[in-house]
Structure formats: structure tokens, C-alpha cells
Amino acid sequence: MIYRCNIEKDGDKFVVDFPDMPNVLTFGFSHEHALEMAKEALEGCLEADISQGNAIPAPIYKDGYPISVASHIILSLRLRELRGEQSQTDIAKRLGLSYQSYQRLENPRKANPTVKTLEKIASVYGRELSISL
């Protein structure tokens, strides 16, 4: 998942904004620093929004600089999308996990599933696990 940002020089700073994520705004003291801060700000905002259950806008903006989102954040987001209106308890039961274990999978700050767990999740949703490196 990649969001794109704009970077504009403003005096001695480089200001970063994300058209797809209007609540993310940061800056850096150099262009390279601005890109580093962009990733940190984007991922921090996504983690907070996912944890609070806020809707996450899809990345559709095509210009600007690409910022890749960390895999653990993407996993948490995708699990919530797949679960839809089903409860975490129901999915945990189907996976043979405790509610707390499943809840951690949807928390981008705590998610760290094994490949076996990812295979179980794919199976429960009738999907095939696809890993690209």
C-alpha cells in the first residue's frame, strides 16, 4: 500500500502533506528528512485511526512522492476490512484463537502473526495466502 505526498519548500523547512490523508501534515529540515518524517507521520496516523476504528481513505492520489506503508499496518487494516460486520469474537472462535489474540492481530501496534496464523486467517475467509517479497 502506497500513499503519495507533496513536499514544498517553505522558508527553511520542507512541508509535507498527503492529499489522501488530510489529517497528516509534517515537515523536515531537508528534502530527505521530510520524506523520513512523512513515513513516520503517515504510519502514526494510520495506526491511530485503525486503533480508533476510523475509516481509512484509499490511496488514489497519483502525483507526488510515494510512501510505503509498513506490512503490520496493512495487515491490521485488511483484517478489519475482511471481518466486516462480524465480531472479533466470532472470527477468533473460527480461527481457534482467544479473543485477545485475535484483537492483537487487528492492532497495528501489536500485530505480529506467524505464517501459520496468516494461513488460518486466509482459510477462514476462503482466500489463498499470497506473499510477495
Give me the mean pLDDT over the 80-89 stretch.
92
Kindly report, residue by residue over 52-83, the tens digit of the pLDDT. 888 999 999 999 999 999 988 999 999 999 99
Q: Which residue has the cell 523547512?
A: 13
* Domains and their CATH numbers in the chain: 2-68 (3.30.160.250), 73-124 (1.10.260.40)
Give me the mean pLDDT over the 44-54 stretch.
91
Residue 33 pLDDT greater than 90, yes or no: yes
Give me the mean pLDDT over the 37-52 stretch.
95
Would you state the pLDDT for residue 96?
A: 92
Beta strands across the sheet bearing 2-10: 21-28, 13-18, 2-10, 65-68
Q: Which residue has the cell 507521520?
A: 41
pTM of the entire structure? Answer: 0.84
What is the Cα–Cα distance from 105 to 108, expressed in whole angstroms?
7
